[in-house]
Amino acid sequence: MTYSTKIYLLLDIINAMKRQEKSGYRTRSELYNNRSIDNTIEIRRLMVLWCKQLTDLCKFNHQTMAIAINILDRFVAKEPAILLNRDKNNAAHHHCRDFRLAAVSSLYTSIKAHEISAIDPKTMSKLSQDVFSSKEIEEMESRILTKLGWRVNTPTAMAFAEIYLQMILIPTDDKTKTIIKKLIQCQIEYAMEDCRFLGIDASEIAFIAIYNALMATFGHASYLGNLQQDIDVNSSSFYLENILMDHMQRSESATIFSLKITTTEPTKKKQRFEQKSPSSFTRHHLSPRSSITIPQQFLKAENSSCKI
């Protein structure tokens, strides 16, 4: 297969994913910005971190977690009243009980749909430190699936990023390519935590993450070539682009510092993307399953860093 043939095939895949993305998997911006409801943004962030902790523990694909968060946010958009729910004692740490239950059930659903190994409802209940019963988790799962019309196959930002990387030629070793992927994943996972990225397409977040990773690694992003034009993707605002760049530089500072990359190409100054202007893009911008056994220490509330 020639390189040009490969590019055409990858573009067909990207276009199909973008059509799917726009068909009903978009999230709503400012979804958690209701000032009459306390701490919903922080509660959501903590639930995302809890999902990530469980995903890492069970060695699940991080795209499974991304799909779970997309399921949760789309469900909240259709049933915002779950953000108002409190337990009978009205305790502060019990705010949004139904929302937290929906987060647990969304991850449970995504694991069932996308992983070879599953977690049974009783174990999922224990992972919530018995805050939610297995019956509640399954009932909420049914409620979510019905409300979303069983649409649980959103294309994730990491899925887009992996295809984008196949379309560009980066003349470096496998170790550096692995580090670049780590930098991309770091940004994408942070975008999942941060409510400011709600409403932004995964295809767009993936492109920004690749751009930032290349800038951090090489000091320029000329390897992107005409990728933005080819994939017809808009860019995020300069403000949101910088949020991801700043987070990557803070959380992966040691990784970035360890890179000793030399290149024959001159360092190019970073340029801002032009919103919705592809023509202005320059070469600078470039079934049956087994059951998971959960370590006992994770099931104990005092040993879990992210609690329900």
At residue 261, the pLDDT reads: 46
Instruction: Give residue 145's pLDDT.
Output: 97
Instruction: Yes or no: say if 111 and 118 are a contact pair by the CB < 8 Å rule.
Output: yes
- With residues binned 3-state (H G I as helix, E B as strand, rest as coil), the percentages for the chain, rounded to 5, are 60, 0, 35
Mean pLDDT in runs of 10 for the chain (308 residues)? 88 95 91 76 94 94 96 96 66 71 97 92 93 96 96 96 92 87 96 95 95 92 87 81 95 82 44 40 38 61 58
Give the 3-state secondary structure of residue 16: helix
| CB contact at 8 A, 239 and 196 | no
Distance in angstroms (rounded) separating the CA atoms of residues 117 and 258: 36
Name the residue type at position 112: K
pLDDT of 278: 36
**Per-residue confidence (pLDDT) for residue 34, from 0 to 100:** 72
Contact 198, 73 (CB under 8 A): yes
Answering whether pTM is above 0.85, one says: no
Instruction: Give the contacts of 195 (CB within 8 A, at least 6 positions apart).
Output: 30, 31, 32, 33, 41, 44, 45
Between CA 225 and CA 231, with CA 230 as vertex, the angle to 5 degrees is: 115
- Tokens 């379309």 identify what position? 167
Q: What's the pLDDT at 287?
A: 38
Amino acid at 78: K
Residue 56 is predicted with a pLDDT of 94
63-80 burial, b if ≥16 CB within 10 A, otherwise e? Answer: bbbbbbbbbbbbbbeeeb
Are 248 and 222 within 8 A, CB to CB?
no
**Predicted local distance difference test score (pLDDT) of residue 260:** 52
Residue 218 Cα distances to 55, 223, 258, angstroms: 31, 10, 12
d(CA 156, CA 64): 9
Helix (H) or strand (E) holding 59: none
The count of other CB atoms within 10 Å of the CB of residue 140 is 22
The secondary structure of residue 302, as a DSSP letter, is: G
What whole-number distance in Å separates Cα of residue 252 and Cα of residue 165?
20
C-alpha to C-alpha distances, 61 to 12, 44, 81, 239, 300, nearest whole angstrom: 24, 21, 31, 29, 24
